[in-house]
Amino acid sequence: MTRLNINGREFQFDIADDTPVLWALRDSAGLTGTKFGCGMAMCGACTVHIDGQATRACITPVSAAVGKKIVTIEAIGNERIGKAVQAAWVKHDVAQCGYCQSGQIMSATALLKDKRKPSDADIDAAMAGNVCRCGTYQRIRAAIHDAAQALA
């Protein structure tokens, strides 16, 4: 049995240790906000926080998350930084198709936890692994700057 702390709740799953965290979240815990994109950690759609670090859930085995705290898009709005990022996303009308947005928001939140006043270069570096096929990168950057100001 694998025990995981997800969004502050303890879950117990009968899954193999090498099962990606993504599938534990989606198939076993029923948390479908974290998306499957490429399965190779190249697009960022599956980004979650594991002990506060932005992590690609599609390639991270559950064995690497045991004893750690996993936070998903479903709970990020319960935190001050996550709430500010989500509000900025709405204000700047970032989402178009929306598929990548949970991963984008999780990466942006992790960035603002580490750097409260990120430069454009900081944002570009932190968000480089997140692909938006709709091309809303300028709005994403503006929303991150806006969230940073709201948190100041």
| Residues 6 and 70: beta-carbon distance below 8 Å | yes
**Chain segment 45-101, per-residue pLDDT in tens:** 999 999 999 999 999 999 999 999 999 999 999 999 999 999 999 999 999 999 999
Q: Which tokens sit at 28?
A: 């076993």
Q: How far apart are CA 134 and CA 102, in angstroms?
A: 14
Determine the pLDDT at residue 75.
Answer: 98
Joined together, the tokens standing for residue 82 give 């996550």
Average confidence (pLDDT) over 8-22: 97
Domains of the chain: 2-75 (3.10.20.30), 77-151 (1.10.150.120)
Two structure tokens written together for 51: 């002990």
Indicate the pTM of the whole model: 0.95
pLDDT score for 68: 98
CB atoms within 10 A of CB 95: 18
Residue 61 is classified by DSSP as: B
DSSP type of residue 19: S
Would you state the pLDDT for residue 145?
A: 98
CA triplet 27, 29, 32: central angle to 5 degrees?
Answer: 65
